[in-house]
Each structure stands twice: as structure tokens, then as C-alpha cells.
Structure 1
Amino acid sequence: MRKFVLLRTAQALLVFVFATFVAYIALFELGDPFASVGEKVLPPRTRAILHETFGLDEPLPVQYLTFLGNLCTADLGIDFDRRRLVSDLLAEALPNTLRLAALAFALELLIGIGAGVLAAVRRASFWDTLVTTSTVVLMSIPPLVTATFLRDRLSGLRLSDITLFPTLPIAFGHEPHWAQLLVLPAISMAAGSAAFTARLIRGSMLEVLESDYVRMARAKGLAPRKVIFKHALRNALIPFANLATINLGALFGGALVVETVFQFPGVGYLFVRGLRDLNTPVLISIVAYSVIVFVVLIALLDILCAYLDPRLRID
């Protein structure tokens, strides 16, 4: 088991270095952030000073190695736009993205597992048809379409004198509470994932409900609710548990589109604004930490699976 953990850790480090280096090259190819474009005109002397200040006059490999060294000390540099510490920008945006991902994941579990269990227990009924049909539809719709539809139809919705969802785009100088901005993006992110979860749980539940130990539980006269939730659902969740970690990482990726559509002040929206302004320190910092989160989640999942199943270990 120790050998497997060491090997998996080494693989994770290699993936991180490769992914961040490729991202660094891609960002370098976007162009010079201090180039004279349109109405933005900088004298050559000013450009040279800015390049020297931000280390852009160094060769690309040197810039990347410097970035890796700074990453270890959490020194992410200063953004090109507002001259603020990138770590401060991430500290402001990250809690919002975590709230959004947590709510979206909770909705995915609640709706997906509930709908999947209902469809399996009421097999070939109206509810089964409704769940299977709606899940196919939701899985076919990109998050961008779902987010745009909800924004156009529900933003600015009022109930009596209470504004349920703020009007988008947000007016200059108006800062709605983060809780008001949270619901619609979370629903947009959770829709497709909940549909996938529902289909996965339905298939797994149908298989488990036909197993011998569930039939034995029913033959003993146990209550149907106890058979479904204690015996069947517990085992039906095993396939989903193997994908839950990956799906949680995918939710952070989906936040990129959804946060931009809803102008949600999270990491995804910060990344899009940085991409628009060629703000390299912001972009590469977000990419690096996103890779770290995803690689760590996958590595932990592999180690957990190897712990539970000795056949996956390396002797």
C-alpha cells in the first residue's frame, strides 16, 4: 500500500508540472499584455519598464521556474490590471466559489439521488418515465444554455416587496448580497449533474433491488422503507461514490461559465476577466490551484479505492 501511495503521489506531481507548464505556454502565446492595441498606447520605454518589473523580459522557462518557486511560498505576484496582490483577489473570490460549488453539489445529491430512487422503486410507472425523460433532456442542455435561460427569465424576480433574485446585469455601484446571487447559478450548475446522478442511481438501484440479500430482507418482513434505504440504497451508492469526487472537481470547472453568465464574484468570473485583460499572474495562479485541487481529489480517490480493493495495489 505504501508503494502505491508513493507512486500515485509522484504521478500527481508529474501531472501538475506538465499541466501548469502547458498552461503557461498557452498564456504566453496569447500575446503581450502591455502591447499597444487600439486606444491603448504605451511608449517603448514604459513597456520595457513594465516587462522588467513583472519579469516578462526573462525567457519562458525561467519565468515558469520562478512561478513554481513563488507558488511554494504563496507569493502569486501582482495583477496587471489593478496592481493588487493576486493572493488577495483569490482570497475574495474563493469563498464565493466554494459556497456555489457546495450548494450545487448538495442540490445534485438531493435531487439526483431522490429522483433515481423514485424511478427505480416505481419502475415502469409515470414517475419512472418522467425521471428518465427529463434526465435525458437536462443532460443534453449545456450549462451555458441553462444559465442564460434562468438569467433571462428569473433575474429581477420579485415576490411582493422582496427581490428574490437581483436584476442582471448588475447596475454600477449596486452590490447585492452574495446569498441572492447564489441560487440561480447553483441550479444551473446542478441541473446536468443531478440528471446524470439520477440515471446512475436508478440503474444501480434496479440492479441491487434484484439481488438475493434484498429479496431475503423482504422475505423476513422488513418494512419497505427499511429495505430500500438501509439495504438497497447503501449498496447502490457505491458506484456513485467513485464518481462523486471527480464530479465535485467538475463543478469547479462548470463555475467558469456559470459565474460569468450571472456575474457571480467567484474564481471563474475572475478568470474570465483576467483572460479578457491578458492578466497572466491571475490566470496562471487560478490554473495552478485548479490543477492542484483536481489532481489531489483524483489521487485521494485512487488511494481510497486501492485501500478498499487490495487487487488495485502494487506489490
Structure 2
Amino acid sequence: MGKFLVRRVSRAVFVLLVTSFGALVAVTEWGDPFRMIGDRMQDPQTRALLNETFGLDKPLFFRYLDFIANLATGDLGVDYERRRPIIDLITAVAPNTFRLALTALAIQAVFGVTLGIIAGWKHRSFVDLAITTGSVVLLSIPLFVTGVTLRNTVTDISLFGWQPFPPIPRSFGLETTWLQDLALPAITLGMGGLVFTVILTRGSMLEVLESDYIRTARAKGLTERKVIFKHAARNALIPVAELSAIQLGALMGGSIIVETIFQYRGLGFLFARSMVENNHPVMLVVAAYSVVIFVVVLMLADIVTAWLDPRIRVD
């Protein structure tokens, strides 16, 4: 187990270094970070002072080393647009993305696992056909189409004078609760990952139902419901748990499309706004944060899975 941990952590560190360097290169090639200043301040002296202040006069490799060192110390710098510390921007929106990720994952897990178990249990029946067909249809719909459809059809609906989903964009001075802001983005993200959970659960159920211990349980006279939900479903959920960890890592990184559609104040919306403003430091930090979260969660999922199943430790 010790060698497996060393290998897995080493791979995670390597992935983080490579992806963070790629993010730095991509952000550098995005465009002029000071174009918002205006033509009157574009003289050579001003540009040279700005480049020196923000370290843009250094070669790319040394800027990368400075960026890694700043990430390690927690000094994320300031954004170009408002001159606010980036750490304040991240801490203000990260809890919203964390709440959104957990809610979307709960939707995927509850509905996806339930439908997958039923589809596997009722294999080759009309119920199985309806669930699998619905999953394929849902998978074929792009995520932004689902989000835009919900935004255009559900928001601004009034029920006895109460608006459960306020209009987007928000009216000035309109106060909303965190649940109102969270509901539609979470449903959209949950529907986006629901299909994979259904398909994986169904396939895992079909494999488990062919196992010898399931046939033994049935031979002992156990009811079909007890065989399915006490013996088969428990073992079928092992690969689903690993998929959920991967989905959680991806969701915690922030969903740019969904958060932008619903103007949800999370990491994805912060990244999209920074792209419009050409705000290089914020773009880079959010991208690095997203990669770190995804890689760390995936690494922890691999370690837990290897601890449960020793066969995975062998390369």
C-alpha cells in the first residue's frame, strides 16, 4: 500500500505541475491584460511600470516559478480590474460552488442510483426500456440547452404572488434566498450527470445479479426484494461511489456554463467574468484551483478504492 500511495501522489503532483504551466501559457496568450486602461495610458513608460509591478516583464519560466511559490504560500496576488486580493474573491464564491456541487451530486446519486437499480432489476422489461431510453435522450441534450430552457420557462413564474425562481438577470434591489439561487443550477447540473450514474448502476447491477452469491441467496429462499436491495445493490454501488467522487471533483471546480447561465455567484461565474475582463490573475488562480480540487479528490478516491480492493494496487 505504501508504494501505491507514493506512485499515486507522485502522479498527482506531476499532473498539477503540468496543468498549472499549461494554464499559465493559455492565459498569457489570451490577450493584453491592460487593454481596459484606455489609450491615454498606453505610453511605453506606463506599460513598462505595469509590467514591472505585476511581474510580466519576467520570462515565462520564472513567472511560473513565482506562481507556484505564491500558490504554496497562499499569496495569490490582486486582480487587475478592482485591485482586490484574489484570495478574497475566491473565499467569497467558493462556498457557493461547494454548496452547488454537493446539491447536484445528491440529485445525481439519489435519482441515478434508484433508476439504475430498478433498470437492472427489471432487465429487458418495459421499465428498463423506458429508463434506458430516457437516459439516452437526456444524454443527447447539451447542458447549456437544458439550462437555457429552464431559465426561460421556469424563472419569473409567480405562484400566488410568490416567485420561487426570480427572473434572470436579477432586478436591481431584488433580494433572493440562497435556496432560490441554488435550485435551478443544481437541477441542471444534476440532470447533466444523472445519465452516467444510471448507466453505471444498471450495468453494475446486471453484473452482480449474475454472481454466485446472489444465486445462493435466492436458493436460500430470500425474497427478491431482500436479494436486490440488501445483497445486490450494496455491492453494485462500489463503482458508482468512485464515479461520484470524480463527479464531485469536477463539480467543485466550478461549472462555467451553468453558473454563467443562471448568474450564480460561484467559481465558474467568476472565471467567465474574468475572461470578459481579460483579468489574467483571477483566470489563472481559478483554473489552478479547479485542477487542484479535481486531482486531489480523484487521488483520494483511488486511494480509498485501492484500500478496499487490494487488486487495484498492482500496476
Q: TM-score, normalised by structure 1?
A: 0.93
CA distance in structure 2 between the aligned counterparts of 1:95 and 1:267, rounded to whole angstroms: 9
Structure 1 gaps, min length 5: none
Moved more, 43-52 or 290-299: 43-52
> After superposition, where does 1:88-237 map in structure 2 within 5 Å?
88-237=88-237
Which residue number corresponds to residue 284 of structure 2? 284
**Amino acid of the structure 2 residue aligned with 1:74:** G
Aligned to 1:159, what secondary structure does the other structure show?
Answer: coil
Structure 2 gaps, min length 5: none
Moved more, 250-259 or 143-152: 250-259
Residue 42 of structure 1, CA deviation: 2.3
* 1:57-85 superposed Cα distances (whole Å, 9 cap, x missing partner): 22222221111111111111111111111
Moved more, 198-207 or 300-309: 300-309
CA distance in structure 1 between the aligned counterparts of 2:3 and 2:312, rounded to whole angstroms: 12
Moved more, 211-220 or 290-299: 211-220
* 1:247-295 superposed Cα distances (whole Å, 9 cap, x missing partner): 2223245611100010000000000001111111111111111111111
Residue 243 of structure 1, CA deviation: 2.0
Which residue number corresponds to residue 55 of structure 2? 55
Residue 145 of structure 1, CA deviation: 1.0
Residue 218 of structure 1, CA deviation: 2.5
* 1:101-125 superposed Cα distances (whole Å, 9 cap, x missing partner): 1000000001101111122223333
**Amino acid of the structure 1 residue aligned with 2:41:** L
Which residue number corresponds to residue 266 of structure 1? 266
Moved more, 138-147 or 202-211: 202-211
**Amino acid of the structure 1 residue aligned with 2:258:** V
Moved more, 201-210 or 137-146: 201-210
* 1:13-35 superposed Cα distances (whole Å, 9 cap, x missing partner): 11111110011011001122113
Cα 1:254/1:131, change in 2 over 3 Å: farther
Q: TM-score, normalised by structure 2?
A: 0.93
> After superposition, where does 1:18-97 map in structure 2 within 5 Å?
18-35=18-35, 41-44=40-43, 45-97=45-97
Which residue number corresponds to residue 9 of structure 2? 9
CA distance in structure 1 between the aligned counterparts of 2:96 and 2:27, rounded to whole angstroms: 25
* 1:32-56 superposed Cα distances (whole Å, 9 cap, x missing partner): 211378x665232333332222222
**Amino acid of the structure 2 residue aligned with 1:293:** I
Residue 246 of structure 1, CA deviation: 1.5
Preserved contact between residue 254 and residue 290 of structure 2 (Cα < 8 Å): no
Pairwise CA RMSD of aligned residues? 2.0
CA distance in structure 1 between the aligned counterparts of 2:298 and 2:22, rounded to whole angstroms: 20
Preserved contact between residue 271 and residue 282 of structure 1 (Cα < 8 Å): yes
Residue 175 of structure 1, CA deviation: 4.3
CA distance in structure 1 between the aligned counterparts of 2:106 and 2:27, rounded to whole angstroms: 34
CA distance in structure 2 between the aligned counterparts of 1:293 and 1:51, rounded to whole angstroms: 30
1:242 counterpart = 2:242: yes
Aligned to 1:163, what secondary structure does the other structure show?
Answer: coil
Preserved contact between residue 189 and residue 254 of structure 1 (Cα < 8 Å): no
Cα 1:35/1:214, change in 2 over 3 Å: same
Residue 135 of structure 1, CA deviation: 0.2
Of all paired residues, the percent bearing the same amino acid is 50
Preserved contact between residue 34 and residue 42 of structure 1 (Cα < 8 Å): no
Aligned to 2:35, what secondary structure does the other structure show?
Answer: coil
